[in-house]
A = this chain, B = another copy of it.
Amino acid sequence: MVDDRKLAVLRAIVEDYVSTREPVGSKALVERHTLGVSPATVRNDMAALEEEGFIAQPHTSAGRVPTDKGYRLFVDRMVSVRSLTTPERRAISSFLDGAVDVDDVVQRSVRLLAQMTRQVAIVQYPTLSRSTVRHVELVVMSPSRLLVVLITSTGRVEQRVVELPEPVSDLLVADLRARLNTATLGQRLPEAAERVGELIGAVPEADRRTVAVLLGALVEAFSDDRSDERVLVGGTANLARFGADFDRSMRPLLEALEEHVVLLKLLGEATDASAVTVRIGAEVPYEELSATSVVASGYGPEGDALATLGIVGPTRMDYPGTIAAVRAVARYVGRALTDE
């Protein structure tokens, strides 16, 4: 039903519409692309494409516009992700390499993404629960006050001061420190939290009450997921290019950008660090955002998905370019985090 030439026509329509923002007609199409057929033939193909819901007419006797379904087909069947040029790669890595800590990496990424795609960029902070334990430190501040420090694979430092019901000996602390590190090193935080819970069995009966408090604090530090909800948004100024369809598409988007929980849902679950997800129009899980698309990707060191980043923009966007940009930034951010 959808033969090669119809696909070519759809591709041409999508490309023209994205660049001109205007419904595209059969005549203009054959002029700008080398389809090798006459406008009349293109019209027939268009009628067929419309029949199947890939394109639509804003009104009778107007050109055609791709539908969500049309973009979907375009993205699925026709986007051969171009790899970036060497200068582009170099620009990205030099931009990210200057980062001094995790926060800085995230900030730079969001800027970079916004700049490259000319869309609104969203970067989720590396999820605590997906990162692993690099080091656990117990520090005696006073006989009954202990400082618990957790350093994760992404370089994040979490710390807690614990007030103990009874004093603990340095010996016990040293013992615990050693046990904790061997038990949790390299583990993901949720599993590490379980291991920590199990350690209570190895403690002398007399100290259990005190140690339980201490371990409790540590488990809490492990499972503190406030950072899961943190995202950074950038490139809002690119919204200005939305222009006319203001109240319809822009207002809800601006509202969504303030609700970080919404944004996280938009980005979706990070599945695989190398897979770019594209959600188009109605596929986006918010009705108000039915005129927007989301292009997202997981990212993380060594292809291990730590968190998600992506962009939000009008359904009418340059998918090949955007997908390439998101994929590239995700990859380089992953790399930058590993080097930390």
A residues near B (Cβ < 8 Å) are 137, 139-141, 147, 149, 157, 159, 234-237, 239-240, 243, 246-247, 250-251, 254-255, 257-258
Known: A137-B141, A141-B137, A159-B159. A240 touches B251 (CB 8 A): yes
Instruction: Give chain B nearest CB distance to A276 CB in angstroms.
Output: 25
The residue in chain B whose Cβ has the minimal distance to the Cβ of A145 is: B137
Determine whether the beta carbon of B237 is less than 8 Å from that of A255: yes
In the bound assembly, the distance between CA atoms of A235 and B255 in angstroms comes to: 8
In the bound assembly, the distance between CA atoms of A338 and B159 in angstroms comes to: 23
Q: Name the B residues within 8 Å of A257 (CB-CB).
A: 236-237
Q: Name the B residues within 8 Å of A255 (CB-CB).
A: 237
Q: Name the B residues within 8 Å of A237 (CB-CB).
A: 251, 254-255, 257-258
The residue in chain B whose Cβ has the minimal distance to the Cβ of A149 is: B147
Q: Name the B residues within 8 Å of A240 (CB-CB).
A: 246-247, 250-251, 254
7 residue pairs A–B, Cβ–Cβ below 8 Å = A236-B236, A236-B254, A237-B251, A237-B254, A237-B255, A237-B258, A243-B246
Interface pairs A-B: 7 shortest CB-CB:
A240-B251, A237-B254, A237-B255, A139-B139, A236-B254, A139-B141, A240-B254
Instruction: Give chain B nearest CB distance to A230 CB in angstroms.
Output: 10
In the bound assembly, the distance between CA atoms of A149 and B247 in angstroms comes to: 49
The residue in chain B whose Cβ has the minimal distance to the Cβ of A241 is: B251
In the bound assembly, the distance between CA atoms of A247 and B237 in angstroms comes to: 11
Q: Name the B residues within 8 Å of A137 (CB-CB).
A: 141
The residue in chain B whose Cβ has the minimal distance to the Cβ of A137 is: B141
Apart from A137-B141, A157-B159, 17 more pairs, CB < 8 Å: A139-B139, A147-B147, A147-B149, A159-B159, A234-B258, A236-B236, A236-B254, A236-B258, A237-B251, A237-B255, A237-B257, A237-B258, A240-B246, A240-B247, A240-B254, A243-B246, A246-B246
